[in-house]
């Protein structure tokens, strides 16, 4: 187990600087264009694939960094470049993690490489969980998966929403209900292979921010998939459902659901790192502007009102990063989030991104309100962090109930 340290090793510094160069030289010059176009930035993704950033090998190396800092370093630098383009680059990882977390070794080896393709034939993947009536309330999920005993296939019906890469992905990972009586314990994950009849893209959303990232509904109409597309396999699913039924009927069943909820904590620091990247970018633009913009014969940073804002902005960015790093290291070290440290990092970093980008707009004044300066886009992008991967309200609920010992439902 790696000791917690704030000192990056040489390999981490090299990766950080490499990512920063790509973000500065490739992503930032293209950010405004793809934000306006509201389209997936295929040329940028292909460029990332050519140099190895968009690849299974790269993300595997960062994921298995024993310090836990590989993923947050990656997310911060890419989202420092541009949030919309960055989400297009890392969005496939959501589906890959879904397979890694639930699939067999054979399924992982089969499907995860197909999600990325290669530099000459780039592919995307989509993770489909949220529904029109089941966002924060995952227990309200309605998409059903029914096993056809005669053919051994699974039949999926329902509508997913807010799916990054939804409908344009090569591979879709879909969470569906197999036993409604068990609530969230009756859910299972399925891979829908490319070209499967019945899966189609529904509404493509026109968004306030992260507009270079494709977000859409995914409609499933009698989608029939082979039995081997159930992640983990049917035998494992049947055993899990049997245990869930037994535990739900026994005293302490509620605690079983709490333990399941706690597993989601591990993914939240990565979203916190995304928010840190956007917040840091806005702070740096505001700092540079305050140093060079003159009013009343002196740079505006000489005014205490501006200087204090920048001091608060920098403090919040650094504090958010520290919370993200702590939670990331704890997850890698296998330490339990007894105080909901994962949710803490995501909550504080998300709120920091909204606050810091708003302050950056204010410091730039009228210029900050125009699309001639990037803080306007950064401010729009930052709104998503307090919404996806669990809203700020859900994070506060998880933290409060973890500290109080109350059930997390």
Listed in order, strand segments (DSSP E) in 51-166 are 117-118, 121-122, 125-128, 144-148, 153-164
Phi, psi (rounded to 5 degrees) for 198: 100, -20
- Kindly name the residue from 3, 217, 389, 393 that is annotated as catalytic: 389
Listed in order, strand segments (DSSP E) in 165-214 are 171-177, 187-192, 199-204
- C-alpha to C-alpha distance for 267 and 72, rounded to whole angstroms: 11
The b-or-e profile of 77-111 (16+ CB within 10 A means b, else e) is: bbbbbbbbbbbbbbbbbbbbbbbbebbeeebbebb
The total number of residues shown for the chain amounts to 409
- C-alpha to C-alpha distance for 373 and 379, rounded to whole angstroms: 11
First-to-last C-alpha distance (Å) of the chain:
32
116 burial level (CB within 10 Å; 0-12, 13-18, 19+): buried
- C-alpha to C-alpha distance for 113 and 104, rounded to whole angstroms: 14
402 burial level (CB within 10 Å; 0-12, 13-18, 19+): buried
- C-alpha to C-alpha distance for 395 and 399, rounded to whole angstroms: 6
Contacts with 110 (C-beta within 8 Å, 6 or more apart), sequence order: none
- C-alpha to C-alpha distance for 27 and 79, rounded to whole angstroms: 10
Fill in the DSSP letter of residue 130. -
Among the listed residues 363, 217, 368, 214, the one whose alpha carbon sits nearest the alpha carbon of residue 299: 363
Contacts with 233 (C-beta within 8 Å, 6 or more apart), sequence order: 104
- Structural tokens at position 161: 């929403």
- C-alpha to C-alpha distance for 183 and 301, rounded to whole angstroms: 55
Is 389 one of the catalytic residues? yes
In degrees, to the nearest 5, what angle opens at C-alpha 368 toward C-alphas 362 and 374?
A: 125
Which residues are tagged catalytic? 389
């Amino acid at each position: 187990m790696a000791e917690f340290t704030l000192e990056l090793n040489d390999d981490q510094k090299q990766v950080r600087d490499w990512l920063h160069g790509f973000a500065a030289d490739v992503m930032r010059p293209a950010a405004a264009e793809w934000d306006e176009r509201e389209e997936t930035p295929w040329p940028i993704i292909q460029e990332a694939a050519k140099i190895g950033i968009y690849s299974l090998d790269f993300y595997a190396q960062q994921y298995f960094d024993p310090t836990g800092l590989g993923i947050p370093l990656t997310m911060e630098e890419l989202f420092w470049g541009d949030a919309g383009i960055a989400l297009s680059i890392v969005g496939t990882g959501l589906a890959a993690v879904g397979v890694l977390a639930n699939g067999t070794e054979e399924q992982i080896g089969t499907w995860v490489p197909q999600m990325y393709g290669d530099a000459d034939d780039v592919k995307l993947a989509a993770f489909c969980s949220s529904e029109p009536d089941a966002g924060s309330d995952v227990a309200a999920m309605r998409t059903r998966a029914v096993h056809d005993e005669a053919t051994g296939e699974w039949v999926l019906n329902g509508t997913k929403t807010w799916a990054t890469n939804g409908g344009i992905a090569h591979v879709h990972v879909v969470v569906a209900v197999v036993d409604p009586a068990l609530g969230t314990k009756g859910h299972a994950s399925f891979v829908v292979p490319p070209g499967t009849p019945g899966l189609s893209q529904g509404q493509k959303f026109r968004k306030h921010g992260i507009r270079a990232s494709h977000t859409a509904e995914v409609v499933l109409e009698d989608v029939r998939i082979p039995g081997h597309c159930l992640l983990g396999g049917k035998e494992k699913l049947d055993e899990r459902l049997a245990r869930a039924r037994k535990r739900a009927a026994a005293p302490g069943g509620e605690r079983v659901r709490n333990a399941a909820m706690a597993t989601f904590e591990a993914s939240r620091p990565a979203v916190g790192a995304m928010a840190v990247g956007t917040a840091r970018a806005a702070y740096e633009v505001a700092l540079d502007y305050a140093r060079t913009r003159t009013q009343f014969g002196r740079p505006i940073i000489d005014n205490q009102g501006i200087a204090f804002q920048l001091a608060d902005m920098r403090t919040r960015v650094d504090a958010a990063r520290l919370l993200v790093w702590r939670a990331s290291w704890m997850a890698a070290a296998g330490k339990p989030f007894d105080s909901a440290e994962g949710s803490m990092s995501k909550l504080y970093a998300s709120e920091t991104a909204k606050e810091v980008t708003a302050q950056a707009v204010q410091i730039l004044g009228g210029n900050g309100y125009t699309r001639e300066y990037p803080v306007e886009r950064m401010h729009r992008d930052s709104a998503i962090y307090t919404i996806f991967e669990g809203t700020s309200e859900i994070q506060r609920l998880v933290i409060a109930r973890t500290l109080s010992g109350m059930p997390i439902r």
